[in-house]
Amino acid sequence: MALPRDAEAWAARQVLYPTLVAVCDGRCVGFCELDPSAGRIETLYVWPSLAGRGVGSRLLELAESELQQRGVMCMRIEASLVLADALVRRDWAHQGEDWVARGGERLPRVRLSKSL
């Protein structure tokens, strides 16, 4: 699934996926979309120049808290290989690997879960 590029499509998406937004100096620097009914993180994105500064970690902490408040017992994510390694070090369990098509390319990803 490709992410939308226009504001109307993003607004429609918010009905499906509650979104946590990281803001720095009045600008969005990251976001995390949740699918509470599936206990899943649908999308996690941090502006590339801010990678490694804790923005993604904080978004994941807030996502975990939000899902716990909604009664979710186990959260899931499909992550890039780079993100997957970091999550496994943070008590996420490796559940297998698969591929996703993006812009005509096949990209590997890792299915992970974490008990809440």
The predicted-structure confidence for 8-34, as pLDDT tens digits, reads as follows: 776 777 778 999 999 999 999 999 999
Name the band, by pLDDT with cuts 50, 70 and 90, for residue 3.
low
Does the pLDDT value for residue 90 go beyond 70? yes
For residues 33 and 20, give the distance between their C-alpha atoms in angstroms, rounded to a whole number: 6
Find out whether 4 and 104 touch, Cβ atoms under 8 Å.
no
Euclidean distance between the first and final Cα of the chain, in Å?
Answer: 27
DSSP state of 53: S
- Residue 101's pLDDT is 86
* Angstrom distance (rounded) from CA 98 to CA 112: 11
Can you list the domains of the chain with their CATH numbers?
7-115 (3.40.630.30)
Q: Provide the pairing of β-strand 93-102 with 105-115.
A: antiparallel
For 93-110, write each residue's pLDDT tens digit: 999 999 988 788 898 999
Q: Would you state the structure tokens that stand for residue 28, as one six-digit string?
A: 């969005």
Residues pairing with 80 in the sheet:
none
